[in-house]
Amino acid sequence: MSDQWIDACGVGEVDEEDLIRFDHGEKTFCIYHTAKGFFATDGYCTHAEEHLEYGIVEDTVIECPLHQGRFDIPTGKALGGPVCIDLKTYPVKIENDRVFINLSDDTV
């Protein structure tokens, strides 16, 4: 599939050290604004299917609201708590103050 950049939100819509939920078609994602920039991951925690939307961002780590599982936002790596499966991440670019995420290597 060719590059598929999706307009997710405006840069001003996500507070720094915070995230928002972004739904696209059947899928749901999280868009993060960290001190290291914007990132995107799958919406649901890999542990028990809780949406990370209400999770807490600290630095570049997202903590799941249900059992405090933690993931590294840029890489999706599972860091601790009850989670052991990494979170899927997506490339992000900023253009004209909009945040785009790339779903082209998304097989689903």
Q: CA 74, CA 89: separation in Å to the nearest integer? A: 7
- In this complex, which beta carbon is closest to ligand FES, that of residue 36 or of residue 67? 67
- In this complex, which beta carbon is closest to ligand FES, that of residue 40 or of residue 45? 45
Phi, psi of 32 (to 5 degrees): -110, 145
Q: In the structure encoding, which two tokens stand for residue 88, read together?
A: 């899927």
Q: Which of residues 29-68 bind other proteins (CB under 8 A)?
A: 48-50, 54-56, 65-67
Residues 6+ apart with CB under 8 A from 41: 29, 30, 32, 52, 62, 71, 73, 76, 87, 88, 89, 90
Contact partner, 55, from other proteins, ligand FES, none, Cβ < 5-8 Å per class: other proteins
> Minimum distance between the CB of residue 104 and ligand FES, rounded to whole angstroms?
27
Q: CA 64, CA 26: separation in Å to the nearest integer? A: 22
Residue ranges that bind ligand FES, judged by CB under 6 A = 45, 47-48, 50, 64, 66-67, 69, 81-83
Residue ranges that bind other proteins, judged by CB under 8 A = 18, 48-50, 54-56, 65-67
